[in-house]
Amino acid sequence: MKLFSKKFRYHKKNKEKGLTLIEVLLSFTIVVIAIFAIIDFLLVYSNLNQSLQARIKAYTISNDFLNNLLSRSFNDPVLSPGSKTQVIQNITIIYNITDIRRSNEVILKEIVINTRYNVKVKNISNIRLWAMKYKYENVR
């Protein structure tokens, strides 16, 4: 009888050293949840990064377009009053030019630019630039 009880104790000690199926499944579940959290974070970061890149690109193109308008001569037909639209690299630039007069003479032009761009099919239009083009360059 003593021999049987020693074997029983030996098996009991051996069983305590290993992991149970529940412990393995619980560990696996925790690892899977952690992996999904990391993947979700990376996807959100990737979308944010794409959105910021599109905004920087739209702002840069709009700013270059505004600088191009400002570099033209005051009487250039491109600077005639009115609202105009131009598409550059899938970015829509809507610009409005208004003549401002003093004593029936146009002394400056107000230029307002609104930019629309797309990020994953969403149309975003929140870039606005504004400038003044003076008739006499030394006036500021």
Cα 79 to Cα 97: distance, rounded to the nearest angstrom: 7
| Global pTM exceeds 0.75 | no
99-131 residue pLDDT tens = 998 888 888 999 999 998 887 767 776 788 888
Could you give the CA distance from residue 52 to residue 57 in angstroms, rounded to a whole number?
A: 9
Percent of the chain with pLDDT over 70: 83
Cα separation, 19 vs 21, whole angstroms:
7
Closest CA to 92 of 124, 129, 49: 124
Q: Which of 13-17, 46-50, 103-107 has the highest mean pLDDT?
A: 103-107
